[in-house]
C-alpha cells in the first residue's frame, strides 16, 4: 500500500466535496491559504461557464491539523458547493418519489458518463451518474494536490504548467524559462499560455466556438524540476512512476491522452535522435545532455525535469445540440442545455499540475518513508549527497 493516499466524495450539486488524505508526515506546515490559492486558480480561465461565478472554492480543515501543522492523523478537507442552495430539493438524500419522478433525467448526453453509468448501475434517473462524474470533483483533487505541493516545496521540488494548444491554435514553444517565470506569466494569462500572440488567438477561438454553440479542447504541459534520480521503480508494473502519472492525468475528466518529453514524436525519429546521452561532472554528478524522454527511464526519474503533456477533448455539453436517444421512449432527441463551460483547458491545466504533484509526493514518501517532515527532508538531502558521490 502506498504511504500516502486519498479518497474524494461528493456530488456536483450536493452540499460539499470531501477529501480524506492519509499518510501525511507529521509536523508538515499546513497552509489553508496555499490550498485556497490552487482552488482559486482552478476556477479561473477564459471560456468557463456561469457556475464558476456562483462558486467561491475554499477549504475547511476538519481533522489532522493543529496549530498549522499536520499531526500524522488523517486530514479531512471540505469544499462547500455554494450552488447547493439552488439544488437542495433535487439533491435531497431522503426518499421523495413524487419529486424524483418529475425531475428524472432520461436523456443521456453524448460524451458524458450518463448512458454507460445508467446501464451499469441500473439508474433510470441519470442524475445519479452525472452528479458524480462531473468535473466538479477535480476541486477535491486539487486540494489534495495542493497539500502534496507543500511537501514537494520543502524538498526543493518545483512544479509549473501551461497551455500549449486550444483547438487549432498552438503556442510557440518557449524554451528554458525558469519555472517561477512560467508561473508568473501564466497567472497573468486568461488562457494560461506563455505565447502572447497565441493567447489572443485562443481567446478569439473560444469566443467563436461559444457563439456557434460549440466547445474546444487542447493540450496542457506540466514541468517538474528538482526531482531526485530514482523515484518510482522498474521492478513491478504498478510501481513505474511515469505510468502512475499517466493514469492520474488520463483520470482527469475529458483527458484522453498523455505523453512524456518528445512523446509521440519518438515514433518518427531514429534512436540516436531520441535517447538522452549520459554525462558526468564533479558539480552535477550524472546528468543528461538532452531531456527528450521527459525525465523518465525504466519507470524511474532520471533527475532531469519531468515534462508531461495531457490532451483534453472538447467539452461534451454543447449549446448546439448533439443527437441522442431517450432511455424511456427510445425516441431520438436533440439535447438542450442550461449552462456549460465552452472551454476548460486553462482550468484543467491547474488540475493536471496538482494531480502530477500528488503522484510525485506519493513516490517521494515511498522512497523515503518518514513519520515527520524533518525526517523526510533529511532523508532526501542525504540521498541527494549520495547520488552526487555515486
Ligand X SMILES: Cc1cc2nc3c(=O)[nH]c(=O)nc-3n(C[C@H](O)[C@H](O)[C@H](O)COP(=O)(O)O)c2cc1C
Ligand Y SMILES: C=C(O[C@@H]1CC(C(=O)O)=C[C@@H](OP(=O)(O)O)[C@H]1O)C(=O)O
> Which residues of the chain form contacts with ligand X (CB under 6 A)?
49, 111-113, 133-135, 138, 252-254, 313, 315-317, 340-341, 344, 347-348, 351
* Residue 117 or 263 having the CB closest to ligand Y: 117
Query: What is the CA angle 349-350-354, rounded to 5?
Result: 115
Of 31, 71, 134, 372, the residue at the interface with ligand Y (CB under 6 A) is 134
String of contacts with ligand Y for each residue 198-237, x by CB under 6 A: ----------------------------------------
Contacts with 160 (C-beta within 8 Å, 6 or more apart), sequence order: 179, 180, 182, 183, 186, 222, 223, 353
Q: Tell me if 337 sits within 8 A of 47, measured CB to CB.
A: no
63 marked as part of a ligand binding site: no
Query: What is the CA angle 48-53-57, rounded to 5?
Result: 95
Interaction with ligand Y in 139-178: which residues (CB under 6 A)?
Answer: 139
339 binds ligand Y (CB under 6 A): yes
| Residue entry with cell 525535469 | 305
369 marked as part of a ligand binding site: no
12 binds ligand Y (CB under 6 A): yes
* Residue 118 or 171 having the CB closest to ligand Y: 118
* Residue 253 or 362 having the CB closest to ligand X: 253
Catalogue the E-assigned strands of 253-299: 255-260, 278-281, 285-288, 296-297
Q: Is 47 left (phi over 0), alpha (psi -120 to 50) or beta?
A: left
What is d(CA 256, CA 312) in angstroms, rounded to the nearest whole number? 6
Contacts with 131 (C-beta within 8 Å, 6 or more apart), sequence order: 11, 12, 13, 14, 91
* Least distance from ligand Y to the Cβ atom of residue 54, Å: 8
What is d(CA 213, CA 72) in angstroms, rounded to the nearest whole number? 49
* Least distance from ligand Y to the Cβ atom of residue 259, Å: 24
Q: Which does 348 bind (CB under 5 to 8 A by kind): ligand Y, ligand X, none?
A: ligand X
Closest CA to 163 of 183, 192, 125, 190: 192
Q: Which residues, in sequence order, are bridge partners of residue 242? A: none
Q: Which does 59 bind (CB under 5 to 8 A by kind): ligand Y, ligand X, none?
A: none
133 marked as part of a ligand binding site: yes
316 marked as part of a ligand binding site: yes
The stretch near ligand Y (CB under 6 A) out of 47-55, 260-268, 295-303, 325-333 is 47-55
Closest CA to 276 of 296, 249, 259: 296
| Helix axes 138-154 and 32-43, enclosed angle (nearest 10) | 130
* Least distance from ligand X to the Cβ atom of residue 358, Å: 16
* Residue 40 or 377 having the CB closest to ligand Y: 40
Residues 184, 196, 246, 139, CA torsion sign? positive
Q: Which does 136 bind (CB under 5 to 8 A by kind): ligand X, ligand Y, none?
A: ligand Y
298 marked as part of a ligand binding site: yes
* Residue 38 or 291 having the CB closest to ligand X: 38
* Least distance from ligand Y to the Cβ atom of residue 135, Å: 3
Of 39, 47, 51, 304, the residue at the interface with ligand Y (CB under 6 A) is 51
Per-residue cell: 384:
541527494
Helix (H) or strand (E) holding 33: helix 32-43
- Which residue is at the shortest CB distance from ligand X? 317
* Site for ligand Y, rule CB under 6 A: 12, 49, 51, 55, 134-136, 139, 253, 339-341
> Which residues carry a binding-site annotation for FMN?
132-134, 253-254, 298, 313-317, 339
Instruction: Detail the residues annotated as belonging to a binding site.
Output: 42, 48, 132-134, 253-254, 298, 313-317, 339
Which residue ranges make up the annotated binding site for NADP(+)?
42, 48
Amino acid at each position: 500500500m502506498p504511504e500516502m493516499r486519498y479518497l474524494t466524495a461528493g456530488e456536483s450539486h450536493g452540499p460539499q466535496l470531501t477529501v480524506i488524505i492519509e499518510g501525511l508526515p507529521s509536523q508538515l506546515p499546513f497552509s489553508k491559504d496555499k490550498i485556497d490559492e490552487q482552488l482559486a486558480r482552478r476556477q479561473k480561465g477564459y471560456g468557463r461557464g456561469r457556475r464558476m461565478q456562483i462558486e467561491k472554492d475554499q477549504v475547511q480543515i476538519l481533522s489532522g491539523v493543529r496549530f498549522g501543522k499536520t499531526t500524522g492523523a488523517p486530514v479531512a478537507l471540505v469544499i462547500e458547493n455554494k450552488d447547493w442552495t439552488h439544488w437542495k430539493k433535487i439533491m435531497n438524500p431522503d426518499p421523495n418519489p413524487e419529486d424524483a419522478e418529475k425531475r428524472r433525467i432520461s436523456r443521456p448526453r453524448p460524451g458524458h458518463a450518463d448512458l454507460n453509468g445508467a446501464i451499469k448501475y441500473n439508474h433510470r434517473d441519470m442524475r445519479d451518474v452525472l452528479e458524480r462524474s462531473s468535473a466538479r470533483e477535480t476541486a477535491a483533487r486539487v486540494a489534495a494536490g495542493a497539500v502534496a505541493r507543500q511537501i514537494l516545496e520543502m524538498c526543493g521540488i518545483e512544479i509549473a504548467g501551461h497551455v500549449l494548444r486550444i483547438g487549432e491554435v498552438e503556442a510557440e514553444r518557449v524554451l528554458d524559462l525558469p519555472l517561477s517565470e512560467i508561473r508568473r506569466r501564466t497567472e497573468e494569462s486568461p488562457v494560461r499560455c506563455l505565447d502572447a500572440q497565441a493567447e489572443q488567438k485562443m481567446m478569439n477561438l473560444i469566443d467563436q466556438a461559444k457563439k456557434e454553440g460549440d466547445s474546444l479542447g487542447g493540450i496542457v504541459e506540466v514541468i517538474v524540476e528538482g526531482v531526485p534520480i530514482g523515484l518510482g521503480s522498474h521492478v513491478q508494473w504498478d510501481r513505474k512512476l511515469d505510468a502512475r502519472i499517466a493514469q492520474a492525468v488520463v483520470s482527469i475528466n475529458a483527458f484522453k491522452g498523455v505523453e512524456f518529453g518528445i512523446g509521440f514524436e519518438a515514433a518518427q525519429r531514429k534512436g540516436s535522435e531520441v535517447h538522452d546521452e549520459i554525462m558526468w561532472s564533479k558539480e552535477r554528478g550524472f546528468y543528461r545532455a538532452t531531456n527528450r524522454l521527459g525525465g523518465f527511464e525504466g519507470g524511474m526519474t532520471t533527475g532531469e525535469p519531468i515534462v508531461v503533456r495531457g490532451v483534453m477533448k472538447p467539452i461534451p455539453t454543447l449549446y448546439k445540440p448533439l443527437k441522442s436517444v431517450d432511455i424511456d421512449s427510445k425516441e431520438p432527441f436533440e439535447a438542450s442545455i442550461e449552462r456549460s463551460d465552452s472551454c476548460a483547458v486553462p482550468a484543467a491545466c491547474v488540475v493536471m499540475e496538482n494531480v502530477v504533484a500528488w503522484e510525485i509526493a506519493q513516490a517521494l514518501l515511498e522512497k523515503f518513508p518518514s513519520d515527520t517532515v524533518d525526517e523526510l527532508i533529511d532523508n532526501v538531502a542525504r540521498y541527494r549527497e549520495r547520488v552526487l558521490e555515486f
